[in-house]
Amino acid sequence: MIDATAVLVIALALAGAIQFLFWQRARRGQERLAGRLVTLEREQRLAKADAESAHQETAQIADASYDPILVVDSERRIRRLNQAARDLFGVGEGSLGTSFIAVTRSHELEGYLTAALHGEPRLDQQLTLDQFTFRARIVRHTGNDGAVIRVVVTLNNVTELIRLTRARRDMVANFSHDMRTPISSIRLLVEMLRQNLGKNPQGDQTKLAKIASATDSLQHMMQELLDLSTIESGRAIMRMVETTFGDILSRSLEMMEAQFEEKGLTVINEAAMDVRVLADPDQVRRVINNIFHNAVKFTPKKGEIVISTAQTTSHLAVCIKDSGPGIPPFERTRVFERFYQVDGTRSGAADSRGRGTGLGLAIGKHIIEAHGGRIWVEGGIPSGACLLFTLPLA
Ligand code: ATP
Ligand code: MG
């Protein structure tokens, strides 16, 4: 009887031990599984973070570009667009998923997208968007099965490049044109002198004076061109000093006195001479001298030049007004371009001082802007030109 009980106890104990062993193994298995799950989750999280960071990095690189970039899917829906593209088309993040044409509103660009989707894997085209000229590159990307995954459209704004190329071409053309006249008159005069030297001493003197004048205008042209390139390349150093506006102006008035007198011009100076400005007096004087020079050139005899000033909290505005023919409204920004001369000025010389080169105001604009000021033209009242510029107060 005792034996049976003992056997039962032993059997029960054995069963318990076996169950315990099984339970322990199962628990260890569960723990291992849980551990694996945690690792898996961590790996997934890391992979997701990596993908997110890569996505962010690509977006940041794209946003750093000056060029608008758009990524379009095979259904012509916007998948991505960088900051420059959002700025150009005036759209936000919400435009993702909308159609390419709805964002770009350009049928020309849509046409190139069609060509990229169905034909050319890569296109380079020039087009105009919003008054700017762009070079568009449209590249199609396909998967292994040949199906289109995406099309990447990059737009490079070449407006400024085209303008500069044109300006350089114009400059060379204008400069050679402007040099031709004095050079050919020098050649002609020298030839005449060579053939008839000494036969008419007075005539010889006149011819020599004409040669000197033609040489002067060539020299003036060269000097201006040199000045302009020095200023434009940033090599001209502005030596800013605190000075009164009167200091700058009175020297200019002195230098121009003979020319004003010769032309019988009345100069009325209403400027606030004791206002202190921060400026390079020599450079600002060049600006003023050219404005005076223009006023003398273009104002008929017995005309008038009025100089006045006005003051804001930060700047002194100077206005030099003449009673000449004035500058037509649509030419008022163009006169600050290199070589630009209002029609009629280029041909018929307005005055014995010659036609000029059309560089004076371009140089003036650079100088004033280097001072942190602004220069512009307004119409005179009732007629004439009114040149205005600002200088920072000291
Ligand atoms: P440069 O100054 O190089 O000798 P320029 O006088 O022709 O030559 P700017 O001083 O740059 O060149 O002036 C450009 C053009 O603007 C002039 O050719 C002229 O057509 C016009 N202009 C400038 N000032 C006046 C003015 N006071 N009245 C009428 N037209 C003017
Ligand atoms: Mg001039």
| pLDDT digit string, tens, across residues 157-189 | 999 899 888 877 877 777 787 788 889 999 999
| pLDDT digit string, tens, across residues 198-208 | 999 999 999 99
Phi–psi pair at 158, nearest 5 degrees: -110, 15
Q: What rounded mean pLDDT belongs to the chain?
A: 90
Pocket test for ligand 1, best of 221, 361, 368 (most atoms within 8 A of CB): 361
> Exposed, middle or buried, 251 (CB in 10 Å: 0-12/13-18/19+)?
middle
Apex CA 89: angle with CA 85 and CA 92, to 5°?
75
The atom of ligand 1 lying closest to the CA of 358 is 12
Ligand in nearest proximity to the CA of 356: 1
Q: Is residue 377 within 6 Å of ligand 1 at its C-beta?
A: no
Confidence of residue 358 (pLDDT cuts 50, 70, 90): confident
Give the residue with greater pLDDT, 166 vs 37: 37
Percentage of the chain beyond pLDDT 90 is: 70
Q: Is residue 178 within 6 Å of ligand 1 at its C-beta?
A: no
CA-CA distances (angstroms) from residue 129 to 81, 97, 133, 152? 17, 22, 6, 18
What's the distance, CA 122 to chain centroid? Answer: 29
pLDDT at residue 146 greater than cutoff 80 = yes
The atom of ligand 1 lying closest to the CA of 324 is 28
CB 167 within 8 A of CB 143: no
| pLDDT digit string, tens, across residues 203-242 | 999 999 999 989 988 888 888 888 888 887 777 788 999 9
Q: Is residue 281 within 6 Å of ligand 1 at its C-beta?
A: no
| pLDDT digit string, tens, across residues 274-285 | 999 999 999 999
The atom of ligand 1 lying closest to the CA of 293 is 6
| pLDDT digit string, tens, across residues 115-141 | 999 988 999 999 999 889 999 999 999
Determine the Cα–Cα distance for residues 272 and 294; give it in Å rounded to an integer. Answer: 23
| pLDDT digit string, tens, across residues 288-330 | 999 999 999 999 999 999 999 999 999 999 999 999 999 999 9
The atom of ligand 1 lying closest to the CA of 295 is 27
Pick from 361, 334, 369: which is nearest to 234 by CA? 369
The atom of ligand 1 lying closest to the CA of 384 is 28
Q: How far is the CA of 101 from the centre of ligand 2 (A)?
A: 49
Ligand in nearest proximity to the CA of 362: 1
Q: How far is the CA of 144 from the centre of ligand 2 (A)?
A: 67
Which residues sit with Cβ closer than 5 angstroms to ligand 2, an ion?
290, 294, 356, 360
Global pTM reads 0.60
Lowest pLDDT segment from 322-326, 346-350, 355-359: 346-350
Tally of CB atoms within 10 A around 126: 11
Tally of CB atoms within 10 A around 168: 11
The pLDDT of residue 347 is: 41
Pick from 148, 127, 129: which is nearest to 137 by CA? 127
Q: Is residue 389 within 6 Å of ligand 1 at its C-beta?
A: no
pLDDT at residue 350 greater than cutoff 50 = no
The pLDDT of residue 357 is: 81
Secondary structure letter of residue 344 according to DSSP: T
Tokens coding 177 = 């044109």
What is the mean pLDDT of the segment spanning 54-70? 91
Crossing angle, helix 281-298 and helix 360-370, to 10 degrees? 150
Nearest CA, atom 24, ligand 1: 294
Residues 6+ apart with CB under 8 A from 108: 127
Crossing angle, helix 245-262 and helix 281-298, to 10 degrees? 30
The atom of ligand 1 lying closest to the CA of 220 is 4
Q: How far is the CA of 292 from the centre of ligand 2 (A)?
A: 8
Ligand in nearest proximity to the CA of 340: 1
Confidence of residue 352 (pLDDT cuts 50, 70, 90): very low
Q: How far is the CA of 227 from the centre of ligand 2 (A)?
A: 14
Residues 6+ apart with CB under 8 A from 314: 392, 393
